[in-house]
Chain A
Amino acid sequence: AQSVAQPEDQVNVAEGNPLTVKCTYSVSGNPYLFWYVQYPNRGLQFLLKYITGDNLVKGSYGFEAEFNKSQTSFHLKKPSALVSDSALYFCAVRDNHAGANNLFFGTGTRLTVIP
């Protein structure tokens, strides 16, 4: 069965410091991994995805994520955090079953960037 885990409910980081939001996954077959961000009372905005190729994926708003097959991880990173990055971040994996196309989401990590 496909699943993702986000081990941290809350991450606090000072403005200007690097940030990491952790995600580990469990899939049968090739993993298709995604990161989304949710601002208060809004829908999810797509940040980036890993399908195949380079392990370092670059996405929107300066975010990037590193796919690590041996550690089954897909951590989200940004070199320098902004206050406006404060939001709820979700990692997701695509269902690999035949005919399925849905996403399994983690429980989310609330990022707070402190001015």
Chain B
Amino acid sequence: NAGVMQNPRHLVRRRGQEARLRCSPMKGHSHVYWYRQLPEEGLKFMVYLQKENIIDESGMPKERFSAEFPKEGPSILRIQQVVRGDSAAYFCASSANTAGRTDTQYFGPGTRLTVL
């Protein structure tokens, strides 16, 4: 009964490169959320997706960041032309498909992005 899986666990990029972060939700979950955690801070919401749809991207920076959750395969958070300020831990969470808001979000181990 695997939990939320994220890879890679650690990612090092130079300024200007692209970063691709992957998230596979728990089995049976069709809602995925991405959060960013800066050192010594709480998590900040970025984007909420269901299969093939972006539901809420109000926390996503307007430029360089994009997310997808295709019909097949993991959810991808893509950061183009990374800058040092993008260095953070990026967490993915998933929840089951229900009509209410009472579902628990279960988090993956995170991807720690370091931009040199």
Contact = CB atoms under 8 A, between A and B. Distances in A.
A105 B43 contact: yes
Interface of B: 4, 6, 31, 33, 35, 40-45, 48, 55-56, 58-59, 91, 93, 95, 101-102, 104-110, 112
A101 interface: yes
Contacts of B42: 90, 105-108
Interface in A93-110: 94-96, 99-108
Given A32-B102, A106-B42, A101 B108 contact: no
Contacts, number: 65
| Residue among B6, B31, B43 with the highest chain A CB neighbour number at 10 A | B43
Given A42-B110, A43-B108, A108-B40, 6 more contacts: A51-B102, A90-B42, A95-B45, A101-B55, A102-B56, A102-B59
**Which 7 pairs, one residue from A and one from B, show the smallest C-beta to C-beta distance?**
A105-B42, A102-B45, A43-B107, A44-B107, A43-B109, A105-B43, A51-B102
Contacts of B102: 32, 49, 51
B45 A99 contact: no
B56 A45 contact: no
B104 A49 contact: yes
- Main DSSP-derived SS at the A contact region: loop
B43 A44 contact: yes
A101 B103 CA distance: 9
Given A43-B91, A51-B102, A101 B43 contact: no
